[in-house]
Structure 1
Amino acid sequence: MRIALLEDEHEQAQNVQNILDERGHHCDSFPTGQSFLSAVLHRSYDLLIPGLADPRHDGYRCAGKCSGATELADSGHLSDPA
């Protein structure tokens, strides 16, 4: 399974990645909401794990933006998800 993780604490992100790797998954971690959003809008992931503490792009906002962008992309109205 390909997983995207938003976690601004490097040690926490590394711990989660290690656990997922041990279970045979591939996990990309992102330290900021902006890098997370950019990745999930341009790559295919099976699971998104948004963090909740990023002051500019908390997990709730990222989830909403990902959901809205996916709906737009599916409808053909999203040309450049920057």
Structure 2
Amino acid sequence: MNNLINDGFGLMLLGMGFVFVFLCLLIVATGFMSKLINRYFPEAAPVAKKPAMAPSAATSGASATDPKIAAAITAAIHQHRNR
């Protein structure tokens, strides 16, 4: 019986050792691949987008919400809170 327990512990340590070594190699390989990708395929700098409409149209209230839509949103919030 003692021999079976010793064999069990030996197999357990061997299995856990293989898993530990595999995970360490996986961490090293992932770090290496990350450095490789960042070296050969760097991220492009973000490009500033130009406004779609003329500057005068943006300042004249084109971004204002339609009063009917605002009333519908307010009514929906009120109805949701009353439930």
TM-score, normalization: structure 2?
0.25
Compare CA radii of gyration and give the structure with the larger one: 2
The structure with the largest strand share of the pair is 1
The structure with the largest helix share of the pair is 2
